[in-house]
Chains A and B, each alone.
Chain A
Amino acid sequence: MSFIWQGIQQAFRLLFGSDPEVWQITLLSLKVSGLATGLSLLIGLPLGTWLALGNFRGRSFALSLINTGMALPPVVVGLWVSIFLWRSGPLGDLHLIYTPAAIVIAQTIIAAPVVTGLTTAALQQLNPRLRLQILGLGASRTQMVIALWREARLPLLAALMAGFGSIISEVGASMMVGGNIRHQTRVLTTAIVLETGKGEFAPAIALSLILLLLAFLVNLALTWIQQRRV
């Protein structure tokens, strides 16, 4: 059992030392998942708004698709992104397989439905007559949508947090489309899988602590923004 204690001790040495590889992996995780969260916000916010406010045929069908997408298994996403980006695949010419960009694509596909679905839910919980009142005060459609976003800013930030949470901890897709290549596509989760597989528990524990800390700090920052004006 002593290996656990040794592992934790070594983990702290790694954490507070300046092992360049640990920091490189951490930074890449943050960059890739941050970018994917940003992209899923760009997709999910307008799409979710449209689904919440629009009145068109097939709306409930589209909503159930999105809700299914919220539970999309990362390995399934990994599989299909791999197929598309494979050298002989439909998008093989882009040479993206086993690059950080491939991970960003896969993670965006995982997080976008989460952000979309929760955006829709956030806007649907507002009083439907609020829209009429805002328009009745002379707002344009765009001004009305922005005003509704401001009204729903707390649940919208929760949507963003859930999106980030769904990918920072994801391992299947990153492993499959990134390939866990050292110094190139190795992120925290794939590194933990690798080290654990090798029986190297100390670095695995160190990386897992960093992952937890990272998730905690990002959510702390978002929660702080969310609760600031309550």
Chain B
Amino acid sequence: MKAILEVHDLLVERGNRPILNVASLAIEEGETLAIIGPNGAGKSTLLLTLSRLLPPTRGEISFRGQSLAAQKALAYRRRIALVLQEPLLLDVTVFENVAAGLRFRHLPKGEKERRTLHWLCALGIEHLRQRRPRTLSGGEAQRVSLARAFALQPELLLLDEPFSALDAPTRTRLLQDLQNLLAETEITTIFVTHDLNEALQLGDRVAVLLNGRLRQCAPPQQVFSAPADEEVAAFVGMDTVIAGQVIASQAGQVIVQANGLHLEAVGDFATGKQVLFCLRPEDVTLWPKDHAHPSISSARNRLSGRIARLMPNGPLVRVIVDCGFPLTALITRASMIEMGLSENQAVTATFKASAAHLIPR
């Protein structure tokens, strides 16, 4: 794999305050890099800097091995395409909107119409071609915005939270369509989002941006199950994070003492090492206290506690169990009803040693 875009030592300041500081980042040809982070983390700033619409205070960005500073901004911008959060369509027909970027590039009429039609069809909005943007729904407008970018056949596609303003069903359909289009076209894409699921679905790699700094850049599963630090862990949904110390270590198996409990985990840490013990809520299984079966489970960790809180979350329920520390479990609403769980009830929580992730402190 060859890097198409490389960033070194990038610093962007606003009013002498650093808002983005990326030591190193490389985007490989054909990959989709999802950049996730909470609002205000600097994601949009990074995207605007990469599209040369915001000059960095310092740093080096190179595109296909050539420094951006040595290239004409317009020539570079005509090799990429940018899609922003709001569709920002022009007050002309849908057809003319999709053709807008091609018009800027002075493409011959025939070629312009052919490509515009192709992408109108590819995004399923051919029937809207004569409509005005103000008559479109949010999802339709964002499809026009995407078609407008794809029509440019960019070498690099930059998407800034394109779905964040859409309702859930529309977002799901559009995300699926975008995934298919990216797979078909193999356009190198940087996709910015604050939604973990979008990042997991689209990203070949996921970069986590927190407070203007790149904390981790790895395949989705790795970021998801082995976050680099405590804040990344919290952001990717490791709801349970407790401080502890390794008291025994043997053949990749460790025992961590935390809050007076002994917890088993998989990892290579020396005895005495201070660690953070992290656990995803969906990896925790709950059993009623008087239930006979927990012993059948192969889970190495078994904790007793009381349900401190039940928080319904769509078809799922987030259960906070007080077992010396707050342990979060995610169960389905159906299993909550089946087990007859209620607040203050005594339960047993189990999880596998391999589910736990340790971060050195």
Chain B CB within 8 A of A129 CB: yes
CB contact list, B47-101 vs A, under 8 A: 48, 51, 53, 74, 77-78, 80-84, 86, 88, 90-92, 100-101
Closest beta carbon of chain B to A114's beta carbon, Å: 24
Which chain B residue lies CB-closest to A137?
A: B101
| Range for the number of chain B residues in contact with chain A | 20 to 34
Which chain B residue lies CB-closest to A151?
A: B91
Residue pair B53, A150 in contact (C-beta under 8 Å): no
| Cβ–Cβ < 8 Å partners of A134 in chain B | 90, 100
Residue pair A151, B48 in contact (C-beta under 8 Å): no
The one of A130, A136, A147, A150 that contacts B77, using a Cβ cutoff of 8 Å: A136
Residue pair B86, A129 in contact (C-beta under 8 Å): yes
Chain A CB within 8 A of B2 CB: no
**CA of A145 to CA of B44 in the docked complex: distance in angstroms?**
23
Interface string of A135-152 (1 = CB under 8 A from B): 111111001000100110
Chain B CB within 8 A of A181 CB: no
Residue pair B81, A138 in contact (C-beta under 8 Å): yes
Chain B CB within 8 A of A133 CB: yes
Chain A CB within 8 A of B149 CB: yes
Which chain B residue lies CB-closest to A144?
A: B104
| Cβ–Cβ < 8 Å partners of B82 in chain A | 132-133, 136-137
| Cβ–Cβ < 8 Å partners of A132 in chain B | 48, 53, 82, 84
**CA of A133 to CA of B149 in the docked complex: distance in angstroms?**
10
Chain A CB within 8 A of B148 CB: yes
**CA of A78 to CA of B314 in the docked complex: distance in angstroms?**
73
List 25 A–B pairs whose Cβ atoms lie within 8 Å, in order of A's numbering.
A127-B86, A129-B88, A130-B88, A132-B48, A132-B53, A132-B82, A133-B84, A135-B77, A136-B51, A136-B53, A136-B80, A136-B82, A136-B158, A137-B81, A137-B100, A137-B101, A137-B148, A137-B149, A138-B78, A138-B105, A138-B152, A140-B74, A150-B90, A150-B91, A151-B90
Chain B residues close to A by CB (< 8 Å): 48, 51, 53, 74, 77-78, 80-84, 86, 88, 90-92, 100-101, 104-105, 148-149, 152, 158
